[in-house]
A = this chain, B = another copy of it.
Amino acid sequence: MLFTGTHIHKLDRKGRVSVPKRFRAALELEEFAGIYLYQSHKESALEGCSHSHMERIAASLDELDMFSDEADDLADTILGSSHMLPYDGEGRIILPAELIEFARIEDQVAFVGRGRTFRLWNPDIFKPLQEASRTRTLNRGATLKLKPMTELPKGARPGTMNEEDAS
């Protein structure tokens, strides 16, 4: 149930692109056969997630004060600008023109796994950023403190579903 790796696929003349088989497999138990995409806040990229992840975002927004400005902004930015994209018979989606333009995608799309979510990039834009990010990580000598297995929620091995990152 994790999205991992980078997969580059072609955007065809009809605006369609195949969702990588690995990603589709990670989504196959979902009630909605397709993915959600919305514009990233920080990057020239698209954020992608599953239906259940989107439900989780909506449920989390419900918890914020219903009339707070922050909830309003997040609802407009995430829920209001998201696109629900069903697969066709071959597991492709149609990338809306608005999103193609935003992410400055041309004839290729990079699907980049980020665990529970993934991103879509113009490969030419993503590549140098990835290198820079790798360099920063190395220079920083960053290490990741792993949670002990025993603290993970039940069923977290194949069907893991608990982390806090929504960026």
Give 7 CB contacts A-B under 8 Å: A29-B161, A55-B157, A59-B153, A60-B144, A82-B113, A145-B166, A161-B164
Q: Evaluate whether A73 and B142 lie within 8 angstroms (CB atoms) in the complex, with A5-B82, A61-B115 already known.
A: yes
Q: Count this chain's copies in the assembly.
A: 2
**List of B residues within 8 angstroms of A167 by Cβ:** 143, 154-155
Secondary structure type dominating chain A contacts = mixed
A16 to B: closest C-beta gap in Å: 19
* Tally of contact residues, A, Cβ under 8 A: 79
Smallest CB separation, A37 vs chain B (Å): 10
Q: Which residues of B lie under 8 Å from residue A97 when comparing CB positions? A: none
